[in-house]
Amino acid sequence: MRNTLAALPVALALALACGAKAADAPSATVASVSDLASLFEGEFTTLPSTASATKPPPNVLYNLAKRVHVPSLGDEVVYAEQHKQSPDGPMQWQRLYAFKLDSDQGLIVMTPYDFANGQQLKGAYADPTPLAKLQPAAVKQQPDGCIVLWRKAENGFQGTLKSGSCKDAPAMPKDSTKDLIGKPAITVTKTEYTEQPQSGSGAPVVFRRLR
């Protein structure tokens, strides 16, 4: 969840995808929605396991997330904030992610939301109580945020970007006769989530779970 998990984090914005169900992917269920949301809850970092947390290399990121209840979005919601260099370092962004089952296509839709009074909600991953008081008017879908379509995978879930949902996932041509399914933009397991490079070159960005 870097800056595109601002848009989803910037590195999350990586592959074209559409809403078509992959033929070989198992269908998502109501239970799957809860399973997926739970995998994003916790503390994650790009700091290599062999590196020192007291003397981290440049551009280390920490994502802190908590499943929360937001009246206008429901129960399958994750609050996340990203910090640089340490868990209490400068905050880069805050987001809400709502997870919904699309039973017709057998997948889970993750939509990013912005909200008012962000500074007042800083640290809500530790105490989410203020989020329950958010009024519907204070929560708005992120206008440039990528919507991610999740499917179950062998060891977790894999997500692609919904075609036309953001600049990194342009709409398909109207005369297109086939759906385009790109490689996953992000994969998530019990121990980490991995964001793929946008251009197809370069190393993936791995956020490993700390707790």
Q: What six digits make up the tokens of 37? A: 């949301």
Read off the pTM.
Answer: 0.83
Whether 130 is covered by a domain: the verdict is: yes
Whether 4 is covered by a domain: the verdict is: no
Q: How many domains does the chain have?
A: 1
Whether 100 is covered by a domain: the verdict is: yes
Between β-strands 16-17 and 156-162, what pairing exists: parallel, antiparallel or unpaired?
parallel
Contact 92, 86 (CB under 8 A): no
Residue written as token pair 């994969």: 187
Sign of torsion over alpha carbons 91, 92, 93, 99: negative
* Residue range 64-117, pLDDT digits in tens: 999 999 989 999 999 999 999 999 999 999 999 999 999 999 999 999 999 988
Whether 157 is covered by a domain: the verdict is: yes
Whether 3 is covered by a domain: the verdict is: no
* Residue range 135-170, pLDDT digits in tens: 899 999 999 899 999 999 999 999 999 988 987 776
Q: What six digits make up the tokens of 181? A: 């399914």
Residue written as token pair 């964001």: 195
pLDDT of residue 123: 94
Whether 196 is covered by a domain: the verdict is: yes
pLDDT of residue 3: 46
Contact 53, 28 (CB under 8 A): no
Residue 2 has pLDDT above 70, yes or no: no
Please report, for the domain that includes residue 109, its CATH number: 2.40.128.590
Whether 5 is covered by a domain: the verdict is: no
Contact partners, residue 191, CB within 8 Å, separation at least 6: 208, 209
Domain that holds residue 104: 10-209
The closest of 191, 200, 109, 98 to 151, measured between CA atoms, is 109
Cβ neighbours of 209 (radius 10 Å): 17
CA pair distance 136, 18, nearest whole angstrom: 28
Whether 1 is covered by a domain: the verdict is: no
